[in-house]
Amino acid sequence: MSNKLSMHVNVDDFLPATEEEKRYMVQMRPSSTFFKDGMKRLLRNRVATVSLIIIIIITLSSIFIPMFWPYSYDKMLGVNPGKPVDSSYNNLAPFTYGKTELKQIEAGEQVFPHVFGTDSAGRDYFIRVVYGTRISLAVGFFASIIVLLIGMTVGSIAGYCGGKVDLIIMRIVDIIYSLPDMLMVILLASVLKQTLGPALAGTALEKIGSNIISLFIVFGVLYWVSMSRLIRGQILSLREQEYVLASQAAGAKGSWIIRKHLLPNCISVVIISTALQIPNAIFTESYLSFLGLGVNAPMPSLGSLASDALNGLSSYPFRLVIPALVISLIVLSLNLFGDGLRDAFDPKLRT
């Protein structure tokens, strides 16, 4: 036994494993959900993370800055009741002041600077840009939700029912798809402006204006088609899966199968295309406002700010550059974030 070269195995060298050691050998991996996996991949994508941070900063500042900013978006600083109109407040360059403000500064008072100057009516431009961003983001967000809801419902019904129902719905979709959407948006916006205007008078919605409401309607009517096509395609392939048949064999009805089996399996596609729909809506709102079909007069949006800036373009180019930059920044970061979402959640791209 003491022979070091012996190949003989000494049984005494082996001890039975303790309970603790046995437990150590059992590999228990915490169950990871699809969502957790996706989030992990998303946060590893630096471009998407930075875009997300930018979106969050822009959103939060558009919500909170107006709360403490000393100027309001519709106050013409040169117009004060009981005093003559002071035109020195109009068209101020950034970080310059009007006559009365200069006097206050001389008297040693603190005056909050006009960071982006003022517009031709003497309104603080910075706060107008912030409000414009707020409107643009709200339009983008709500329009996408409307598109999502309509598109998802119609698409899943068409995909699941198939046959004649699918045929009819898809032909309607084709018709809407073939309409020139720009023309339709302008037409609908101007028609709805006439009909909605009186109906909204006196309600809380009046301030936003009939144009924005009609914009939502336009989105609801026109832009759900691509979403519903996408979801229909997904559901057409998913409903052939055996787990759908298994659910039917257990006695499930159509709505149960759509809710429990089909939609959860195409949710990644839905999230991604919604995220990519938001910049699209912001863009549409901007060009409609640019054409004068956007928000009502004192309320700014990024598009109407850019449109107003055209008048004094040669003297005050920054007034066009600023809202244009903000639009670009929002749209770019939302697009990049949407791409990141797709990379993280689309199972077809996963290796």
Partner 1 sequence: MSENRMDNLVEVSHLKEYFQISTGMFSSKPLKAVDDVSFNIRRGETLGLVGESGCGKTTVGRTLLHLYEPTGGEVRFEGKPIRTKANINEFRRKATMVFQDPYSSLNPRMTVSDIIGEPLDIHKMYRNKSEREQRILELMDRVGLNSEHASRYAHEFSGGQRQRIGIARALALNPKFIVCDEPVSALDVSIQAQVINMFDELQDEMGLTYLFIAHDILVVRHISDRIAVMYLGKMVELADAKEIYEHPLHPYTQSLMSAVPQPDPKVARANKRIVLSGDIPSPLNAPSGCPFRTRCPRATAACAEAMPEFKEVAPGHFAACDKI
Residues that bind partner 1 (CB under 8 A): 31, 33-34, 241-243, 245-252, 256, 260-261, 264-265
Nearer to partner 1, 82 or 163 (CB): 163
Nearer to partner 1, 130 or 257 (CB): 257
For residue 35, give the nearest of 243, 345, 249, 271 by alpha carbon: 345
Whether 274 contacts 132, CB under 8 Å: no
Whether 227 contacts 151, CB under 8 Å: yes
Backbone angles phi, psi at 118, to 5 degrees: -130, 165
Cβ of residue 341: shortest distance to partner 1, in angstroms? 17
Nearer to partner 1, 261 or 342 (CB): 261
Nearer to partner 1, 112 or 256 (CB): 256
Nearer to partner 1, 207 or 259 (CB): 259
Distances (CA, A) of 118 to 91, 92, 159, 171: 5, 5, 53, 51
Distances (CA, A) of 219 to 94, 165, 212, 274, 319: 37, 23, 10, 13, 29
Nearer to partner 1, 165 or 246 (CB): 246
Cβ of residue 34: shortest distance to partner 1, in angstroms? 6
Nearer to partner 1, 128 or 261 (CB): 261
CB contact set of 140 (below 8 Å; sequence gap of 6+)? 278, 279, 281, 282, 285, 330, 334
Spatial distance between the Cα atoms of 173 and 176, rounded to a whole number of angstroms: 5
Please enumerate, as own/partner, the contacts of 165-168 that have beta carbons within 8 Å and a separation of 24 or more.
166/232
Spatial distance between the Cα atoms of 316 and 91, rounded to a whole number of angstroms: 8
Nearer to partner 1, 123 or 261 (CB): 261
Cβ of residue 260: shortest distance to partner 1, in angstroms? 7
Whether 300 contacts 135, CB under 8 Å: yes
Whether 41 contacts 334, CB under 8 Å: no
Cβ of residue 261: shortest distance to partner 1, in angstroms? 6
Question: Is 302 in a helix, a strand, or coil?
Answer: helix
Cβ of residue 30: shortest distance to partner 1, in angstroms? 10
Cβ of residue 350: shortest distance to partner 1, in angstroms? 12
Cβ of residue 50: shortest distance to partner 1, in angstroms? 30
Cβ of residue 252: shortest distance to partner 1, in angstroms? 5
Question: Is 124 in a helix, a strand, or coil?
Answer: strand
Cβ of residue 171: shortest distance to partner 1, in angstroms? 16
Neighbours of 245 (CB within 10 A): 12
Q: Residue 304 corresponds to which tokens in the numbers above?
A: 């109407």
Nearer to partner 1, 133 or 268 (CB): 268
125-161 helix and 318-345 helix, angle to the nearest 10 degrees: 30
